[in-house]
Amino acid sequence: MRSNLACVPAVPFAVGVAWASTPWAVEVRSYDPGSTAAPGYTDPAAALGEPSRFTGKRSGFPGVVSMFNPAFESDQIVSIGEGGHLTLRLDRPALDSPGNRFGVDLVVFGNAGFIDVGFPAGQIGAGAPMFGLGQARLELSADGVSFVAWGVFTEGLFPTVGYLDADPFQGSPGLVASDFLRPMDPGLTRGAFAGLTHAQALALYDGSGGGTPIDQARAGLSAARYVRIGVEDDGDPGTSLKVEIDAVAVVPAPAGGLAMVMLAAVGARRRR
């Protein structure tokens, strides 16, 4: 059934965090929860900053963020329902660079996860069953005014991993942090994880913190400073489509692309 979120209006936001140049989103430009967003998860500022490495402190169920235990607290993820959208400003522009790992320029982090069929050991079942998957459309912009459609992506195929040395439901932080700026291989399929143990799946992550890899070449933009994520309304009152977003990361440009970053930043300031 659809949730009634009429009490959460679709209004522009001026929510930000004061950091130096970072690879994360630092400002919410607009947010519309749509008609089916998860109640209680409608604070768009939850999508600012880096992805969550640890979750559950407020609810009394602390644990590392793992591929079986995604972030789930209301200050860590924001929900977007049917007909809704979230527009974020990145602190630094994302460059379309073939020199990036796997050609990935942006990474979107949500709160999907693998179902642990051997709880609490961390065993992915046959067919790699998951929970929390959601489809969303992505649009990119250089100036925050003109947006270009990138297409539709499935959020959650590569669940977020906070630590490389922690058990799937460990109640204390690990010592070896994953790299949120190291993209996953887009060529990996869900089936590649079928039947794997936690350790075997981590080997496929190869140090990455997971997230959905985005190559912005598909949108035809050389530099993108704004990201808009939306969920289509399918017109069916019996569905409740939604996605939850934790963070968006800019993959660091190779050394040769640093000048392009500076030029894009100067151009954006001049336009503003």
Q: Return the pLDDT at 7.
A: 39
Q: 7: Cβ–Cβ under 8 A, 6 or more apart, which residues?
A: none
Per-residue pLDDT tens digits for 29-71: 999 999 999 999 999 999 999 999 999 999 999 999 999 999 9
Half-sphere exposure of 217 (CA within 13 A, CB side): 9
Tally of residues, the chain: 272
H or E stretch at 91: strand 85-95
Q: Return the pLDDT at 21.
A: 86
CA distance linking residue 196 with residue 184, whole number of Å: 17
**Residue bearing the bigger pLDDT, 4 or 124:** 124
Tokens of 164: 């490389």
Taking residues 182-204, report their average pLDDT.
Answer: 97
Half-sphere exposure of 228 (CA within 13 A, CB side): 24
Q: Is 214 helix (H, G, I), strand (E, B) or coil?
A: strand
Per-residue pLDDT tens digits for 198-235: 999 999 999 999 999 999 999 999 999 999 999 999 99
CA distance linking residue 148 with residue 119, whole number of Å: 43
Domain boundaries, the chain: 11-271
Per-residue pLDDT tens digits for 241-267: 999 999 999 999 876 544 454 454 444
Contact 168, 67 (CB under 8 A): yes
